[in-house]
Amino acid sequence: MTAPIIADTGGLLRALARTSDGGASFPDYESVLISARLVVVPGLVLAEVDYFLRENRAAMRNLVAEVFNARTRYEYEVPLPSDIVRALELDAKFANLHMGLVDGTVAAVAERRQIYRLLTTDRRDFGAIRIGPRFNRALELLP
């Protein structure tokens, strides 16, 4: 098992995507998800995933069942008020990226939990931001 990860919307969707024959659509994303010792799913990410899976309710039900099953490696992370405040600070600090609340919250949770490995497709935003008290900590983007 590898170190814990934070799951962003795009990374989580790719990791769970399946081909018509049931295989992984994006095996590199699935591999990261499977090998992580802990997968932290921020609350706003789960809401955004639900939006993208609105035409596939069975997949969403399966994901929710897995995330909230105490025997899995998933951990649902409710955003704290301080995470929302920090998300808005990060959005303002990196205003040119137009990160928004979901991505800002992902970064804030990573910062608070000190989990710097991020399963994401959003290399532009998450590759550019820095977190930490001095904005000097980069996120490790996976895969």
Q: Render pLDDT for 87-96 as a digit per residue (tens, 0 to 9).
A: 999 999 999 9
pLDDT of residue 1: 86
Q: Would you state the pLDDT for residue 37? A: 96
Residues 49-76 pLDDT 10s:
999 999 999 999 999 999 999 999 999 9
Q: What is the DSSP string of 35-73?
A: HBS-EEEEHHHHHHHHHHTTT-HHHHHHHHHHHT-TTSS
CA-to-CA distance for 137 and 140, rounded, in angstroms?
10
Condensed to tens digits (0 to 9), the pLDDT of residues 1-45 reads: 899 999 999 999 999 999 999 999 999 999 999 999 999 999 999
Residues 103 and 97: their CA atoms lie apart, in Å, by: 10
CATH number for 82? 3.40.50.1010
Q: Does pLDDT of 121 surpass 90?
A: yes
Q: Which tokens go with 141? A: 């983007």
Res 136: pLDDT = 96
- State the Cα–Cα distance between residues 11 and 143, nearest whole angstrom: 9
Tell how strand 117-119 and strand 74-77 pair up: unpaired
- pTM here? 0.94
- Count of the separate structural domains present in the chain: 1
Using alpha carbons, select from 121, 126, 124 the residue that is nearest to residue 90. 126
State the distance between the two ends of the chain, measured CA to CA, in whole angstroms.
15
Q: What is the predicted pLDDT for the residue at 62? A: 94
Look at the block and give the residue holding tokens 């024959």: 21
Return the ∠ at Cα 78 (arms to 109 and 69), rounded to 5°: 110
Q: Which of 111, 82, 107 is nearest to 97 (CA)?
A: 107
In which domain, by residue range, is 42 found? 5-142
